[in-house]
Structure 1
Amino acid sequence: MNEEDLNEAFHDVIVRSSPPASMDPARALEQARRVRKRRRVAWGGVAVVTLTVGVGAGPALVANFTGGPADQLVANGGGTTQPVATPSGATPSVSKPVSTVPPTTTPTTRKSGDPWPEGQVDRTATAGPRAVRAVTLMNDLSSSVPPGSSTPDLKYPDGRAMRWPQSQYASNDGEQDYWEYQAIIPVQKDDRVGQLLVESTTPDGKPATDLCKLAKQFWGGTGSCTIMNVGGKKVGVVTDSGRGSYDQWAAYRYGDGTVVYLAQAKKTDNPARSPLTQPVFTTHQLAELVTSPKFKISS
């Protein structure tokens, strides 16, 4: 054996006796035994086993500790935080998995591109609890008409029902989430038909405003406004100037921000029906009824 052969053999011995840079079987075995045995195995025993296993057992050893991302950090020595040994007799803590499922809750403030809430395809909720609330609102309105009047299930000439409920997501971009629940019903007396509408809007986060200003926000209505005191509650009542769909409506705002509108018209938008000769309610009755808790929907 010449000098070159001797150098090559010596280099080969050094390479074979060095552990791989990217894997440290001794560290992996040490950490595994410390957790599994809870320090019941002496450090000397671990060192002896490590020396006995040798480099050739390294790949097999690492393979036994690659069951998941956390185990791979132990086996490969990766990551910035190493596992902490659990003292004898203590229960090891288990990290909860981080969910990768996107949140399904509606954001508190609407942003451009946000999906419609609760699986809807547009603003209107056609099924579920919100749709049920609108139906309940319609039924409560029907039960409120005075004696001598009825709320029959009338139809338009094309077959559509003149009674209908609706619940819709009303927020625009940058606004707090809020909903509008609405119900419209025909009111018949003798052979004449008028119309009622109730709308309940959940708190929208906007500051309270002047009651007459609030009342005139209803369907862009115009007319004279009066503030009425009903049992200590302030109600804004607007009498239309004759150009709107409704003759009169009342507006009431609860302390939590819920707003209720109640509107009445002597005629409907069905030209085949003759209009009522008198409003369904007096002005005072309208103002009193708009404050009824049954029309308040705050969520």
Structure 2
Amino acid sequence: MSGEELRDALRSEMASTTPPPPMSTGATLGAARRSHFRRRAVWASLGSAAVVLAVTGFAAVGNPGDRVYQPAGGGLPAAPDSGDTKEAWPTGPDGRPQEDRTARAGSKHDQGVRLLNEVLSVVPDGYTKPDDPANQPAEQRTLRTHQAQFEDKVNGVDLWSYMSSVAVAQGNGTGRVIVEVHDAGNPLPTEPCALARNFWGMQGECQVETVGAAQVGVVVRPGSDARLDQWSAYQHPDGVVVFVAQGAELDESRPALTNLPFSVPQLAALAIDERFHLE
């Protein structure tokens, strides 16, 4: 099995309870990059495949020793790796190239931590933000995560994306709020609904919401890919892209939320919120 076939198989397995992610930018880029939330169970079942992943650039989420987080899908897809991909990874704070796309220390990692804290800060009153209990079984979905991931080098500039996911609960139900940010210079489309439909390659019924002078694309109803219920997308004038998503269900082991945390106008306003405008 080739490295690309292995990555495809892993993404399929790690899509949790929903279809595998066609990960982002259009048909050409559409099935290649990160599993932006993955399971230890997959690592265990694949055994020595972890060695292959270290070479092929499959990014794990979190710090060494942490539980691996399982996203519903991925973000901006990378162009296919060629040759020795280790040479392409950015240099970490220790002066050595990263082992894969994920920053586990340094300023980029810190941006991911910042984004997680900002996501926690916007969860509305009436919803709790449960955290992982001590000694949680590895097969259970982690409730909070953050990741800083190297996407590509364009004109000598490293492009990164940052993603955080937070479980939100009300009554017996548990859902999630996800924010993903892409550096300026990314190849994502600029038209609001085209941008929104690019998130994790998902489609759906989109409408343009006006927030001040900004035009924000909001998918108010997903298509056949229902990993999330609603999401908004905005490209800042400097090119930074922000996606804000909400889902009523965290996983099959927990009841879903009765009500989503944000209304459509609130979801649109969050996409332009300066707290998520990482630079």
Q: Shorter-chain TM-score: what band?
A: 0.5 to 0.7
SS of 1:143's partner is helix
SS of 1:183's partner is strand
- 1:293 matched to 2:266? The reply is no
2:247 to 255, 261, 265: 265
Determine the C-alpha separation between the residues in 2 that align with 1:195 and 1:250.
14
Deviations 1:227-286 (A, max 9, x none): 1100111100012125221101000001111000000000012x2211000111000110
Q: How far 1:206 moved relative to its partner?
A: 3.9
Structure 2 residue aligned with 1:72: none
Structure 1 residue aligned with 2:111: 133
Maintained 8 Å contact 2:230/2:245: yes
Written as runs of structure 1 = structure 2, the 5 A alignment for 1:189-268 is 189-204=170-185, 206=187, 209-239=190-220, 240-268=222-250
Determine the C-alpha separation between the residues in 1 that align with 2:186 and 2:256.
39
Q: How far 1:174 moved relative to its partner?
A: 7.9
Distance 1:255 1:111, change over 3 A: farther
Distance 1:216 1:172, change over 3 A: farther
Structure 2 residue aligned with 1:115: 88
- TM-score, normalised to structure 1, is 0.58
Partner letter of residue 262 of structure 1? V
Greater helix fraction, Structure 1 or Structure 2: 1
Maintained 8 Å contact 2:153/2:159: no
Determine the C-alpha separation between the residues in 2 that align with 1:238 and 1:290.
12
In the alignment, structure 2 segments of 5+ residues that lack a partner are 1-80, 92-96
Structure 2 residue aligned with 1:187: 168
SS of 1:195's partner is strand
Determine the C-alpha separation between the residues in 1 that align with 2:230 and 2:188.
25
Bigger mean CA offset, 272-281 vs 234-243 = 234-243
SS of 2:110's partner is helix
Determine the C-alpha separation between the residues in 2 that align with 1:217 and 1:205.
12
SS of 1:267's partner is coil
Identical positions, percent: 35
Structure 1 residue aligned with 2:264: 283
Maintained 8 Å contact 1:141/1:198: yes
Maintained 8 Å contact 2:127/2:169: yes
Greater strand fraction, Structure 1 or Structure 2: 2
Q: Which has the larger radius of gyration?
A: 1
Deviations 1:18-75 (A, max 9, x none): xxxxxxxxxxxxxxxxxxxxxxxxxxxxxxxxxxxxxxxxxxxxxxxxxxxxxxxxxx
Q: How far 1:112 moved relative to its partner?
A: 5.8
SS of 1:136's partner is helix
Partner letter of residue 245 of structure 1? R
Determine the C-alpha separation between the residues in 1 that align with 2:187 and 2:144.
31
Higher RCO (CA-CA < 8 Å; seq separation 6+): 2
Distance 1:189 1:228, change over 3 A: same
In the alignment, structure 1 segments of 5+ residues that lack a partner are 1-109
RMSD between superposed Cα atoms in Å: 2.3
- TM-score, normalised to structure 2, is 0.62
Deviations 1:183-238 (A, max 9, x none): 01100112210011000100125485322111111001111111110011110001
Written as runs of structure 1 = structure 2, the 5 A alignment for 1:159-174 is 161-171=142-152
